[in-house]
Structure 1
Amino acid sequence: MTYYNNDYISEIKDTIERVVIHSSTSRSKNLIIRLDFTYPEGINYPDDNNAFTKFLNSFIKNCTRKGLTPYYVWVREQSMNSIAGKHHFHLVLFLDGNIIQNPHKIYQKATELWGMTVGHSAAGLVHLCSHHLETQYINTAIQIRRNSPDFEQTLNEANKWIQYLSKSYSKEGYPHKVKRYGASQVPAIQQNAALTGPTITTGMCF
């Protein structure tokens, strides 16, 4: 059952929180990246998730082959006022920060695979989003270190940033039987591990 709480959807919020906690406590370093995906202008695509699902399967396999142990959360958005087929997707990746510290090669691979999926140049169709966490040396990824003194603070700030995906706005008007979000399967949260939030914040993407 879906519950709406003011600005966010609780089932998506809870899913995000589970993935944030599990990915950040199951390894010593966790690199978090957010990517947004749109379709080329002037081309009509089916109003389903098939293209994105095909892309995601290929992308996650690629990350797995590189030993990055990926976890993910994605949402589909399309407001009731949107033209049919103009939906878009937000994807947050959680990767092994012991192996990767910079998001740009991942961004390049995502752009390449999205272009192959939609059969069109993906230049300008994949956006690497930035954040405003002052503790991070790079503003297009969040590095969470489990043994760092600011671990809990960074974990909570990251959760608040990612919770933009749980906002209720633009998640209406879905075609029948089309999913609006998905995520890696992770264990349930222990009662004492809940995070603060959400605070809906956009960062630098849409």
Structure 2
Amino acid sequence: MYLSHSRLFRFGEHDWLVNAKGSGCYTHMLKKMLSQLFNMLSHHHKLHVLRFDLHQPTYQADNKRITKFNRNLFKRLQRIYKFKRIGYCWVREQEKAPAPHYHYVLILDGSKVRYPHKLLLIISEVWSNMSGSFYVPEHCYYNVNRHDFTRLAKVIYRISYFAKGRGKGIRPPQTKDYSTSRITLCDER
């Protein structure tokens, strides 16, 4: 696992500014996360990107809670929005707190969602039903299209925080530090 301290990260044909200050960024995580963002953009002209945190009340050695959260959340979102695909990235982190927390980003079809209010209510309800607490940072969402490189650069910078070196690895060896959806590139472009 390579930890880069460069402020620029080459992905596709562009160098993107990333949040590598402090502990650097794991390049393999960045590649996976940005692949999901761009693969979703290959299917949809517009995306709605929503960032939030999930906190657990107690230590969990595995990621079964986030797997259950995904299953419950995606069922609800499919029923309400009829998404063909749901992109996501999450990272597990633990530093000083007794329990790990998750940074999470949803990547959704921007023609079906423009504002996060309803989504945030659903997410909060699903996670609260699992006895967790939910945090929404300031400026938690972005609406971006394929040709808006300025906004896309802001999304990439924001997501790059997930790949930071600090807080990773405090887990059993078989437990992952992160996961992403498996959206593939659209063949029709």
Q: 1:116 aligns with which of 109, 129, 136?
A: 129
Does residue 144 of the first structure (1) align with residue 158 of the second (2)? Answer: no
Map of 1:76 onto structure 2:
92
Following the alignment from structure 2 to structure 1, what is the Cα–Cα distance between the partners of residues 70 and 55?
14
TM-score normalised by the chain length of structure 2? 0.80
RMSD: 1.7
Following the alignment from structure 2 to structure 1, what is the Cα–Cα distance between the partners of residues 90 and 35?
14
Identity of aligned residues (%): 25
Does residue 37 of the first structure (1) align with residue 54 of the second (2)? Answer: yes
Map of 1:100 onto structure 2:
113
Following the alignment from structure 2 to structure 1, what is the Cα–Cα distance between the partners of residues 59 and 33?
28
Contact 1:24 1:144 in 2 (8 A): no
How many residues are matched?
Answer: 165
Structure with the bigger percentage of strand? 2
TM-score normalised by the chain length of structure 1? 0.74
Contact 2:52 2:140 in 1 (8 A): no
Map of 1:3 onto structure 2:
2
Task: Trace 1:1-206 onto structure 2 (pairs within 5 A).
Answer: 2-6=1-5, 7-40=24-57, 44-65=58-79, 66-68=81-83, 69-79=85-95, 81-83=96-98, 86-118=99-131, 122=132, 125-130=133-138, 139-146=139-146, 151-187=148-184
Map of 1:194 onto structure 2:
none
Following the alignment from structure 1 to structure 2, what is the Cα–Cα distance between the partners of residues 104 and 142?
13
Contact 1:59 1:113 in 2 (8 A): yes
Following the alignment from structure 1 to structure 2, what is the Cα–Cα distance between the partners of residues 20 and 115?
27
Contact 1:49 1:179 in 2 (8 A): yes
1:176 Cα shift? 2.5
SS in 1 for 2:153: helix
Following the alignment from structure 1 to structure 2, what is the Cα–Cα distance between the partners of residues 13 and 46?
25
Following the alignment from structure 2 to structure 1, what is the Cα–Cα distance between the partners of residues 51 and 161?
11
Question: What residue ranges of structure 1 are gaps of 5+ in the alignment?
Answer: 131-138, 189-206
Following the alignment from structure 1 to structure 2, what is the Cα–Cα distance between the partners of residues 172 and 9?
12
Q: Runs of at least 4 residues of structure 1 off by over 2 A?
A: 44-47
SS in 2 for 1:37: strand
